[in-house]
Chain A
Amino acid sequence: MRRLSILVVVAVLGAAAVVINPPPDLDPVAASTTTTLSEHDEPVSRFFHCPWAYADGVSDSSIALLADTDAEYRVSLPANGEITTTNEATLAAGAAVGIRASAVQPVGSSSLIVEFSDGPAAAGVVSTGEGFAAGDSCPSRLPRIWHLGGGTTADGQVLTLRLFNPFADAARVDLVAVSELGAEAAAGFEGVSVPARSTRTVEISTVLPGRDRVSLLIDQLEGSVIPALVLDGATGDRAVWSGTRQSEAWEIPLVSDRGLAGSIVLTNSSLVAVTYSIDVFDRDAMVTTPVTGEIPGPGQAVVSIEQLGDGVIGARVSGDGPFATFVVGAGEGAVAATPAAPGTSTAWLLPGVNADAGSQYRMWVLNTGVDEITISYRDADAGGDTGSVNQLTVAAGAVASVDVTEVGTSGLIAEADGPFSAAWSVTHGAAVGYVAGVPVGG
């Protein structure tokens, strides 16, 4: 009996020991299912990567920094494996400052990092001069696959890809080029390495000459790069635009300015075709007949502005899969291109507006919502908020543009009581540049 009692106790204890499971946090599978902290709110962007600025005896880009809060900024030049800080100062809330590219690197093309201690903030580059006008917003986010659509190598135009790697580790990327001929089998586009803290350029027009429309998809195998296309038009104008991520919906507040002909270029990096639908807008309301089509995978689809209808100055593109959208314009002595806006926001920063004196600037806004909105916009100069606030009312489903030329400022802040999208254009003589805005609101 005593033996059995002992056995029972031992059996109970042993069974209990056997059936107990380890604590959940010892189980990697269970623990890895917990929510990551980074999946919460969208963090404020503090780092902006400007893959292109230029200075020579004729032109000198303006690097525009715009903050909507008190912030310290730092401009750094990563080159030849080193990174050097060139400018450091403080910006008051609502202030913008323009730094000449020659102050960072006296001659030639350069790529820059702009850091802010706090946000919202944004950075952009504007370059204007006799016969050319170009501008670009500096990207902040770093997608794994970059889309760069809307290039051309036809008619003697020179298209250059800049791969900017400001980071401490080397990067390696695969380039996929698509044109009207389909996917291009270009040599040397696989495993392109970009050393740390340097910029690598690829002459697309040399590798793929004579293409009417060339788009690039950049798959980052290791590390990260920020790509940009620089298009030097045959007549002297220049367009610069950075890559963008992919999204299932895009807004294009600026389809064409100064009567430039052009097109909307849609790029798809996946193997599966994406069906798209373009809603077009004019100054009064949405045009009811959408344009639909398919983006081959991987590939591009080019929709000419004329194809969308007369008087169209705004568009919204949606698809059944992720893709990217660019708008390009071309005219006599003018080339322009920019990514579309990947959504709406209640506030936009337009760094670079008025950064170069002697040019004309115009803001474009698109309200694809169902309510009329009132947009307040104010110029930003080095001293902070100028106190001068202008308002613009935009009807539901309407697009609007307004001249915002104001000497002595370097940026524009636009806020509204409803979501909208914004872009801006710069003209210098016949030359035109398209530039995307930077969303900072909810």
Chain B
Amino acid sequence: MPGDSLHNVCLMAAPTPPDTDASPAPALVAALVVTRRTGDVAAVVGAVAGQVYEPNSIFVVSAAELPGELPDGVTRVGSVPDALAQLDAATSFVWFVDQDARPRRDALGALVATANQVDASVVGSKILRADAPEELISVGEATDVFGHPYSGLEAGERDQEQYDVIRDVAFVESASVLVRRDLAMGLGGLDHRVPYLASGLDLCQRARLAGGRVVVAPASEVLFEGYRGDRAITWREQAGRIRAMLKVYSAVTLLWAIPGLAIIGLLAALYRSFNGRPLALLDWGRAWMWNGLHLPSSVAERTRARRSRQAGDEELFRYQITGSVEMRGLASQLGALIQDETEEDEQDLEELFDQNPGFWQQPGFIASAFGFAFVAFFTRSLLSDGMPAVGYTLPLSSDPWGVLTAAAGGWHLGGLGSPEPMHPAVAATAAVQHLSRMGPALAATLLTVAAVALAILGVVRLLRRSGIGQLGRFAAAVVVVAGPAAASLGSVGYWPGLLAIGTLPWTLAAVLEPLPSELRPRIGRIARVALVSGWTAAMVPPLVLAPIVFGLVWGLGTANLAPLRRGVLVTLLGVPFLFPWLAAQDPVALLSAGEPFHLGLSIWSAGAIGLAAIAAILTASGAALRVSASGALLATAGALLARSGSFGTGLDVTVAGALVASVGSTMVVAGAFEGISSLGNAGAIRRSGARLATVAGAVAVATTLALVPAGRAGLAADAFGSELGFAQSRADEHGADRLLLMGDASDLPGASRRLADGTAYRVVSGPQATFPQAWLPSPRLGDDELVKTITRLSEETEQRPGETLVPFGIKWLVFATDEFGSTVSGLMDHSLTSQLDLRPLPQLDVAVFENELLAARAIDDMGTAWRYETGSYRGPAEAGSVLVRENADPRWGPGTWAQDGWANRLGSSSGVAEFAGVPSLRLIGRLVGLLAIVALVAAIWGRLPTKEADE
């Protein structure tokens, strides 16, 4: 209801419209036509001169010469103060008219009458589009505390005199503003440094603080030429709003408002960067930089404003709406993505909040607000405390470029190294980290939070495409991130699974969405699908096949081959992002690699989902039946796969099964909620069955709440984030060497290997286990030797374990647990309590033994340890050789190379030891990187507003 929204800007009594004919003695008015660019002003001057209520003097404010001659009686002045200085003392009002304004003939009269009638100091006109005079632009406006305008009008809203009430407003646009002369003199008029909207805002705010009343006079109509929907978010307008804030707010208000505006502006810019405004971040920066440069003049203006200040900030707050208009706009945009049936995601952001009154009352906005709150609460510990370190949830590297280089045919960073390519999840996360320029901790946290938010949005979108109504899709959405499958996966800390779940629903939704017919949106869509499909596949490679499976299942349900065809396309788009990792994989080993994940099934959640599935399949119809049946098939098949470790399936396959089960469970719950509304006039028994399905679905949703209080997005608590902190503080001058971790596999970071007795162990590059090290390459010579060494260590007779670990560059021996594994027990009971060269470190949560000998990963002939730097080593450039304790490979260099046992011996004259790379994998890696960049550019390009949209 447009009228309702205007209550937000109209808080004072509204007098009756003035009768211009009955006005008392006419007041003298000076008209100032304010120019902001060179151009003809004849039209506006003519409109001003042609007013029924004739101004006694007309000035054109322009610093530059004007084209053409001005009519008689019209004077050009260089600035507003110059004009004000020339005013006749009898002049009562100053009428500021913008260059692009075309006042109707009675506009000034209405303004003067209103000013007199309500004793207003500033009166603005109703603004209409010059090219469509029936469309409203502004009838006075509200703002938020950050000065962002809010018109309260719907896009394209027609003027039906529905707002024709004189009202107090936060500000009026500077197209046509009547100001009391004395006030204008005191304030100095419009600020010529700020653009159109901001100048009106600035003038009105200063006037209000000076005790003036700001009202809109709808009877005064002004047409405006050159209107653009995005005018409020240009960098100049952003800069103008900042300057306006600096001028009027008290120091206390500025203390929180300025940082708040900076953060909100940054978030909005980030969002806009991916939604049709690629330069939004640049604009944000320019706005702040401009204010930095103009700070002295802002301070001077602030000082001037304070001289005439009669009221506090509270007077401004009275006319402002609470919260941030920009943030509401973003929330509304996100809500629109999941709410409307049309291609609303292609809408421009500003249309939603500039021209859409009451957006916060829409279901989409409400749902997104709840969704935002859920995500915030579900991830609050991550946001406040950072990511836990557990399982595969490990800190990102501080050198993302080095990781990317290693991933593209470089040296595997896990264990004792290998030329084998790293898991694609390593490259994908490093790419995001590198492009975003974020620190490792912030990047990991934001990736996780984004994954949770995207998962919920994606599921809602998927369900919307499936025909599920609002209740079903909103209620079921949380199951995808907090349902039994996600909970089980999170309990083992499999972070790539959580990251994959963020994009998997979008990938599957693409299977249900026909491509746009127009070329540009079509390319954009394909690029976006490639990115989400590629990301999903990179995190959990077997999921690259999920679109085909989903398309097949959905196609069977709808007797339509199109989803399957699209599924194949989506899969093919994702496959390239598995390279170069995929190029080095044995297809059979691909299925069995890694210690399998085993999906745990809670009786409550799994039982509720099962009951919901049965009841929905038996009773629902239409979309509810299709969704619940497809979901049940996916959930059970996924669960079967996720529990198939005992049949030899490996980590990625079982995780993929769990994620498919998670999406399937969500579909079941959505179908269960939708079932009752799909029945129409069905009988009582079916309706009872549908109600049972709804109740079971509600129970399934309720069980997800158990994960919320921890606030870790379902991830397990930190297991070794702090436990390995000693390595940083106790590192030698050349850096932290390696750590040998032993214990139960679930207590070790990332992947691990097992000794014959089942004891798990792994090597970690100090000072901490990072995500790029999470996966271990296939065992090589050094790894075989390490097994023998650990076995010897467990024997009672070995009393110099430190000496035996030196050849592996192992400085610390860490027992993550002593509850599992005979080798660990043997070591703890015998060897390590009776050994000569491993110093136990006291007062740590885990048993840690430090090698007293120099255990450098690379050491030259002079005994100097070389520093490790993400897959390479640096040391003094001296003649001789350096022993690099990485698995032997002749591509280590530069200079001479020789195999030394299982390690490498290189010439040390260059002072560098690095892996030259595998050329073919390097090439593939670069091509994939290029493909990702092209897809990213195409995705943005595909969303850029077209000229038609601008119009």
Contacts and interface: CB of A to CB of B under 8 A. Distances in A.
Interface of A: 3, 6-7, 9-10, 13-14, 16-18, 20-26, 28, 31-32, 34-38, 43-47, 76, 78, 83, 113, 115, 140-142, 166-169, 222-224
A38 B796 contact: yes
A45 B637 CA distance: 56
B637 A13 contact: yes
A37 B791 contact: yes
18 contacts: A7-B617, A13-B633, A17-B643, A20-B644, A22-B598, A22-B645, A23-B596, A25-B595, A28-B820, A31-B821, A34-B757, A34-B822, A36-B826, A46-B799, A83-B836, A115-B799, A168-B837, A168-B849
B640 A20 contact: yes
A10 B628 CA distance: 11
A28 B744 contact: yes
Contact of B595 (A26, A46, A76, A168): A26
Contacts of B647: 20
Q: Nearest 5 A-B pairs (CB), nearest first?
A: A31-B758, A13-B636, A36-B822, A17-B639, A224-B834
Given A34-B822, A83-B836, A141-B796, A10 B757 contact: no
B661 to A, nearest CB: 8
A412 to B, nearest CB: 23
A38 B838 CA distance: 20
B646 A20 contact: yes
Contact of B823 (A37, A140, A223): A37
B598 A6 contact: no
Contacts of A166: 836
Nearest to A167: B834
Interface in B739-756: 744-745, 754-756
B776 to A, nearest CB: 16
Contact of A14 (B610, B836, B840): B610
Interface in B801-859: 819-823, 826, 830, 832-840, 849, 852
A320 B143 CA distance: 95
B465 interface: no
A168 B839 contact: yes
B834 A223 contact: yes
Contact of A43 (B642, B744, B796): B796
Nearest to A6: B629
Interface string B616-659: 01100000010001001100110110111111000000000000
B645 A23 contact: yes
Given A7-B617, A43-B796, A32 B823 contact: no
B797 interface: yes
A17 B640 contact: yes
Contacts of B88: none
A414 B934 CA distance: 80
Contacts, number: 145
Interface of B: 595-596, 598-599, 601, 610, 613-614, 617-618, 625, 629, 632-633, 636-637, 639-640, 642-647, 744-745, 754-758, 791, 794-800, 819-823, 826, 830, 832-840, 849, 852
B598 A26 contact: yes
Contacts of B632: 6, 10
Nearest to A220: B833
A252 B633 CA distance: 76
A75 to B, nearest CB: 13
A141 B831 CA distance: 11
A37 B790 CA distance: 10
Contacts of A37: 755-757, 791, 794-795, 823
Contacts of A78: 836
Nearest to B797: A43
A43 B795 contact: yes
Nearest to A197: B836
Nearest to B832: A169
Contacts of B610: 14
B639 to A, nearest CB: 4
A21 B613 CA distance: 24
A23 B822 contact: no
B618 A7 contact: yes
A141 B797 CA distance: 7
A6 B599 CA distance: 23
B601 A47 contact: no
A17 B636 CA distance: 7
Given A7-B617, A21-B646, A14 B838 contact: no
Contacts of A10: 613-614, 617, 629, 632-633, 636
A173 to B, nearest CB: 12
Contacts of B745: 26
B596 A26 contact: yes
B833 A18 contact: no
Contacts of B637: 13
Contact of B598 (A13, A23, A141): A23
A36 B598 contact: no
Contacts of A3: 617-618, 625, 629
A35 B757 contact: yes
A6 B633 contact: yes
Contacts of A140: 797
Given A6-B617, A10-B614, A168-B839, 17 more contacts: A6-B632, A17-B643, A21-B646, A26-B745, A31-B758, A32-B820, A34-B756, A34-B758, A35-B756, A36-B822, A37-B756, A37-B794, A37-B795, A38-B822, A43-B795, A167-B834, A168-B836
A142 B837 contact: no
Contacts of A38: 791, 794-796, 822-823, 826
B520 to A, nearest CB: 41
A249 B599 CA distance: 53
Contacts of B798: 46
Nearest to A45: B797
A168 B835 contact: yes
- Specify which of B610, B644, B822, B838 lies most central, judged by the most chain A CB atoms within 10 Å of its CB: B822
Contacts of A9: 633, 636
A25 B758 contact: yes
A251 to B, nearest CB: 23
Contacts of B819: 28
A167 B835 contact: yes
Contacts of B643: 17, 20, 22
Nearest to B648: A23
A166 B795 CA distance: 18
A77 to B, nearest CB: 12
Contacts of A31: 757-758, 820-821
A222 B842 CA distance: 14
- Specify which of B599, B610, B642, B758 lies most central, judged by the most chain A CB atoms within 10 Å of its CB: B758
A38 B823 CA distance: 8
B429 to A, nearest CB: 27
B549 to A, nearest CB: 13
Contacts of A25: 595, 754, 758
B391 to A, nearest CB: 14
B839 to A, nearest CB: 5
- Specify which of A23, A76, A223 lies most central, judged by the most chain B CB atoms within 10 Å of its CB: A23
B640 A36 contact: no
A188 B646 CA distance: 56
Contacts of B644: 20
A169 B794 CA distance: 17
- Specify which of A14, A35, A167 lies most central, judged by the most chain B CB atoms within 10 Å of its CB: A14
A26 B794 CA distance: 22
Contacts of A36: 757, 794, 822-823, 826
Contacts of A14: 610, 636, 639-640
